[in-house]
Amino acid sequence: MQTLSVALGDRSYPIHVGRGLLERGDLVVPHLTQKRVAVVSNETVAPLYLARFIQALKRGGVEAFSIVIPDGEQFKNWDTLNTIFDQLLTARSDRGTTLIALGGGVVGDITGFAAATYQRGVPYVQVPTTLLAQVDSSVGGKTAVNHPRGKNMIGAFYQPRLVLSDMDTLSTLPDRELKAGLAEVIKYGLIRDAEFFGWLETHIDRLVAKDAEALSRAVVRCCEIKASVVQNDEREEGERALLNFGHTFGHAIETGMGYGAWLHGEAVAAGMAMACDLSARLGLISASDVERISAVLARAGLPTAVRGLSAERFRSLMSVDKKAQAGRLRFILLNGIGSASLRADVPPEELDRTLSRAA
């Protein structure tokens, strides 16, 4: 097991990465306000891991009950959130009850938002079971539900007490879900670590094949980068916005194509390809950089383009992006592999040329 830390003063918390961690209830107990928890999972993950995890908690003297929600991005909404609230209230859960998210990004996001708002805030723990959640969404305290007009538009910054990433859960992850998670892994190399991107170029085939050692290294490095960024900019007032590379385009794809039609990582991959195209059009990166990036995305089995959204529809969807300021769209663009910046000076005609690729 490797342990990292997100240093946020009295709200700091550890990230444990290793194998067999679902059996380690002793790692969870020290972070509970009282020994009563509600484990939120979904209909796919629950049959695989819920009973085993609850038994591990019970061995530590913890009273645990479960809340199982439907699986899919299309269920990250108010109706599902109210289902969680209903079951918490039925179980007479108080402010000392800790919520535990056992699942992927959707489970983590909606459980975190439920924890942030139930009785004005209760503790929660992240136990991510997908690659995307382990490298990205479980760390940093972004919680949300979707709105029909925009992804993650209703939420809160609310930090977990603990992140417990059991690498064994990746063995049951469908290939499509694994590849979607690799999009976020590649993102970290592109925005922050050129050496890590080079390592990904060499090892992407091992990652696709679920090589345990390669996956562990990737998860740890991504968590190191994200923890460093979150510590410096918890509420996304500056540097943390760079973690959204590809997401302005990607969120528009998810919303425009219908929640659940594209996995988040698939949309981010296509969004990163579009952001790279725009970066090259502005002379920030070279054509050879674009070729390298496209090659890695393709070897990971990820899409680099989208069809079926007009440029007009893209602009409409992006207009509600959370990074928009005073009505102006802002984009995270690459200055080179391993370096990114937030730009609000994108010429409309260059954006149109990039958007025309999706028409």
Two tokens at 87? 């079951």
Determine the average pLDDT of the residues in 224-247: 96
- In the chain, at which residue ranges do the beta strands (DSSP E only) sit? 2-6, 13-18, 36-42, 63-69, 98-103, 124-128, 142-147, 150-157, 163-166, 331-336, 339-343
Q: Please say if the pLDDT value at position 325 is more than 90.
A: no
pLDDT at 332 over 80: yes
Domain holding 147, by residue range, is: 2-172
Angstrom distances, CA of residue 172 to CA of 167, 237, 244: 10, 37, 28
226 with 139, same domain? Answer: no
Tens of pLDDT, residues 34-76 = 999 999 999 999 999 999 999 999 999 999 999 999 999 999 9
**Residue 357 DSSP label:** G
pLDDT (average), residues 216-230: 98
Token output for 242: 């760079």
Residues 195 and 191: their CA atoms lie apart, in Å, by 11
Instruction: Please identify which of the residues 73, 236, 254, 266 carries the catalytic annotation.
Output: 236
> Tokens representing 265?
């990582």
Residues 186-213: what's their mean pLDDT?
98
Residue 140 in 3-state DSSP?
coil
pLDDT of residue 357 exceeding 90, the answer is no
Does 186 lie in the same domain as 99?
Answer: no
Same domain, 192 and 341: yes
Residues 168 and 179 in one domain: no
CA dihedral (55, 57, 60, 65) positive or negative: negative
Domain count for the chain: 2
Task: Check residue 230 and give its pLDDT.
Answer: 98
pLDDT at 221 > cutoff 90: yes
Kindly indicate the confidence band of residue 358, based on its pLDDT and cuts at 50, 70 and 90: confident
Q: Do 242 and 311 share a domain, yes or no?
A: yes
Q: Is residue 208 located within the same domain as residue 263?
A: yes
Asked if 244 is an active-site residue, the reply is yes
Told to judge if 95 belongs to the known catalytic residues of this protein, a careful annotator would answer no
Residue 354 has pLDDT above 80, yes or no: yes
Clarify whether residues 207 and 321 are in a common domain: yes
Radius of gyration of the chain (CA): 20
Phi, psi of 39 (to 5 degrees): -95, 115
Question: Can you give the pLDDT at residue 98?
Answer: 98
| Contact of 204 with 182, CB cutoff 8 Å | yes
Residues 6+ apart with CB under 8 A from 67: 38, 39, 40, 41, 83, 84, 87, 88
What is the per-residue pLDDT for 322?
Answer: 75
Alpha-carbon gap, residue 84 to 97, rounded angstroms: 13
Whether 147 is catalytic:
no
251 confidence band (pLDDT: 50, 70, 90) = very high
Interatomic CA distance for residues 138 and 73, integer angstroms: 16
Residue where the block lists tokens 């108010």: 78
The domain boundary residue, chosen from 147, 172, 197: 172
Cα angle, residue 348 at apex, residues 344 and 354 outer, rounded to 5° = 100
Same domain flag for 277 and 301: yes
128/208 same-domain check? no
Note the pLDDT of residue 145.
Answer: 98
Distance CA 324, CA 344 (A): 9
Sign of CA dihedral 112, 142, 213, 178: positive
Cα–Cα dist 296/276, whole Å: 13
* Averaged pLDDT of the chain: 96
Tell me the pLDDT tens digit for each residue of 253-279: 999 999 999 999 999 999 999 999 999
pLDDT at 321 over 90: no
Q: Could you say which of 16, 161, 247, 330 is catalytic?
A: 247
Catalytic residue among 184, 192, 254, 292: 184
136 vs 15: CA distance, rounded Å? 12
Point out the domain boundary residue: 139, 172, 205. 172
In this structure, are 41 and 115 located in the same domain? yes
Q: What percent of the chain has pLDDT over 70?
A: 99
Q: How far is CA 217 from CA 48, 229, 238, 314, 330, in A?
A: 24, 19, 27, 36, 32
Q: Which of 161, 192, 221, 226 is catalytic?
A: 226
Task: Check whether residue 179 and residue 297 sit in a common domain.
Answer: yes
The DSSP letter of residue 173 is S
d(CA 246, CA 243): 9
Instruction: Looking at the structure, tell me whether residues 258 and 354 fall in a common domain.
Output: yes
Q: Round to whole Å and give the CA distance between 346 and 348.
A: 6
With a CB cutoff of 8 Å and minimum separation 6, the contacts of 77 are 145, 146
pLDDT at 320: 83
Confidence check: pLDDT of 359 > 90: no
CATH for 142: 3.40.50.1970
Checking if the pLDDT of 303 tops 90, the result is: yes
pLDDT value, residue 122: 98
Q: Which of 136, 154, 172 is the last residue of a domain?
A: 172
Contacts of 87 (CB under 8 A, 6+ apart): 38, 67
Range 225-241 average pLDDT: 96
Angle at which helix 212-232 crosses helix 175-192, to 10 degrees, equals 50
Active-site residue, from 244, 266, 292, 330: 244
